[in-house]
Amino acid sequence: MSGTEPVSVPEVERKYVLRPGQSLPPPDGLPATARPPSVDTLTAQYFDTRDLRLLRLGVTLRRREGGPDAGWHLKIPAGTGAGGAPARTEVRLGLAAGTGPPEPLVELLTGVTRREPLVPVAHITTERLRRELVDAGGRPQAEVVEDRVRAVVGGHAGAQRWREIEVEDVVGDGAVADVLSARLAAAGIERSASPSKLHHAVSAADGSALPAPPAQEGVLRGYLRRELEHLVLADVGVRRDVPESVHAMRKASRRLRSALRAYAPVVGLAERADALEDELRWLGHRLSEARDVEVQRARLAARVAAIAAPGHETAPACLEAYFDERGAAAREHVVAALDSERYLGLLGDLEALVGDLAGPDGRDLRRGDVARPLRRLTKKVTGRLRDVEAAPAPAERDAAVHRVRKAAKRLRYAVEVAEPLAPKKAGRALNRLDDLQDLLGEFQDAVVAREHLARAAGQGTTAGATGLTLGVAYQQETGVAEAQVACLGRGWKRALKRVRPLCS
């Protein structure tokens, strides 16, 4: 690999540890044919901050020589693939990028490192026996490798050695990889507890360098820690311009803010939480425009395409130009915010608060702590629904429904935090609150869609068929909004019935 532009490759991989005396079972009888094996020697230098911020987040950055994909590899967690196997996105650059971390990859990691320097943390050499499994047409289905690994972790004397197997699902359905995994399990070969070679090496060299979340991690701390991780990983996606990353980041920021607002006073962190809430609100506002453009572009493109008569494509083109302009400006605003010291300071402050909750003086939520905050949030939703009913005009009514939506979302996130304390009750409440949020979200999307249609109609030439098409779309969105309002009272009653048991 010799390119100078980053290339992204999906990866779904299962790792196994080979104990003394164990070996890779033969590939006979598999639903795929094994090509002749190849042998490679891979040498890799791994980079991280001195306090291992990448590794703690499940991210790795390495420069590897040898093998068919030699180059720089940035691996980012991407949920799970087929069969529940860990999925990652691998961003690659060629070796020509240099011997130190390449600037394009360093920039992607700004939110993770908070501009702390990336330094060498380990050197790992791998003797790899690689087998590719193909179908009858010669198309790759899976890859299985047996690795003999030698690792030297910076600052620790001596080298570690171990053997492991990696099974990679190439096509994404997991079928061949599942058969391989079952065969390995039958041979007594166990899944690795480490998600990467670097994690294995660092854990063995210094177990305290990677403190796992405690088995009895506090409810609030665990929630805040996970959402902070989601926020930072979504940041990498936003910088890569990955679809839905802005949405994931905004959702994590809202969850953090809602959890702090509801429960920080309970654990004695009200003053610190107030400042963090303000900063999270600022971040959410910076993300909102980009997310609205993302949602509305797709929504209105589909609506207008269904309305426009054959031969009258000017309305879709008008909307496309409108959203192109706004999308470019919104992305610039988001990236500027993520590059700011204000944002990086917010990440540091959130990390410090999460750490303090785990300290000797940290306090976390108990079952009796959640009832009062949930009662307060429930009353707020009910009160705002009364404002909807009392609104004197459509514009005031729409604004009141939006306030209901924000209050209901805060309630939903507060229940989400409390779920481990009362799983069954909270699970039932969350199901109804999800239904309510879907209703309110559809209402809000329809209202925002009308605003965009009005703006699009107000710029450029929108006479004739274009103006007519946009006008019809506007009326359809009005109908969607009215239908949601009509269901709002009933939706809240159903949700309230499930939330009340948590309020006592």
Lowest mean pLDDT among 19-23, 320-324, 465-469: 465-469
Tell whether the model's pLDDT for residue 470 goes beyond 90.
no
159: left (phi over 0), alpha (psi -120 to 50) or beta: beta
423: left (phi over 0), alpha (psi -120 to 50) or beta: alpha
Higher pLDDT, 155 or 131: 131
**Residue 386 CB-density burial (10 A; 0-12 exposed, 13-18 middle, 19+ buried):** exposed
**Packing angle, helices 245-263 and 270-307, rounded to 10:** 140
Q: Which two tokens stand for residue 97?
A: 């990028």
Do 98 and 45 contact (CB within 8 A), yes or no? Answer: no
Tell whether the model's pLDDT for residue 211 goes beyond 70.
no
Other C-beta atoms within 10 Å of 208: how many? 6
Tell whether the model's pLDDT for residue 368 goes beyond 70.
yes
Tell whether the model's pLDDT for residue 369 goes beyond 70.
yes
For residue 251, the model assigns a pLDDT of: 97
Which residues, listed in sequence order, are joined to residue 160 by a DSSP beta bridge?
A: 151
127: left (phi over 0), alpha (psi -120 to 50) or beta: beta
Give residue-wise pLDDT tens across range 272-295.
999 999 999 999 999 999 999 999
Taken in order 29, 34, 38, 43, the sign of the CA dihedral is negative
Give residue-wise pLDDT tens across range 40-63.
999 999 999 999 999 999 999 999
Share of the chain above pLDDT 90, in %: 74
- Taken as a whole, the chain contains a residue count of 504
DSSP string, 193-207: SSSSHHHHHHHHH-G
Tell whether the model's pLDDT for residue 358 goes beyond 80.
no
Give residue-wise pLDDT tens across range 322-339.
999 999 999 999 999 999
Tell whether the model's pLDDT for residue 2 goes beyond 60.
no
Mean pLDDT of all residues in 460-479: 81
Give residue-wise pLDDT tens across range 385-436.
999 999 999 999 999 999 999 999 999 999 999 999 999 999 999 999 999 9
Tell whether the model's pLDDT for residue 477 goes beyond 60.
yes
Q: In terms of DSSP bridges, do strands 38-48 and 119-134 run parallel, antiparallel, or are they unpaired? A: antiparallel
Other C-beta atoms within 10 Å of 274: how many? 13
Which residues, listed in sequence order, are joined to residue 12 by a DSSP beta bridge?
A: 87
Tell whether the model's pLDDT for residue 207 goes beyond 80.
no
Other C-beta atoms within 10 Å of 99: how many? 10
Give residue-wise pLDDT tens across range 290-330.
999 999 999 999 998 888 766 666 888 888 989 999 999 99
Tell whether the model's pLDDT for residue 18 goes beyond 60.
yes
Average pLDDT, the chain: 91
Tell whether the model's pLDDT for residue 378 goes beyond 60.
yes
Q: Is 208 helix (H, G, I), strand (E, B) or coil?
A: helix
For residue 310, the model assigns a pLDDT of: 67
Binned at pLDDT 50, 70 and 90, residue 129 comes out as very high
Tell whether the model's pLDDT for residue 95 goes beyond 80.
yes
For residue 216, the model assigns a pLDDT of: 67
**Most confident region among 23-32, 132-141, 494-503 by mean pLDDT:** 494-503
In the 3-class helix/strand/coil scheme, how is 249-272 assigned residue by residue? Answer: HHHHHHHHHHHHHHHCCCCCCHHH
Other C-beta atoms within 10 Å of 432: how many? 20
Tell whether the model's pLDDT for residue 3 goes beyond 70.
no
Binned at pLDDT 50, 70 and 90, residue 384 comes out as very high
Q: Which two tokens stand for residue 39?
A: 């042998």
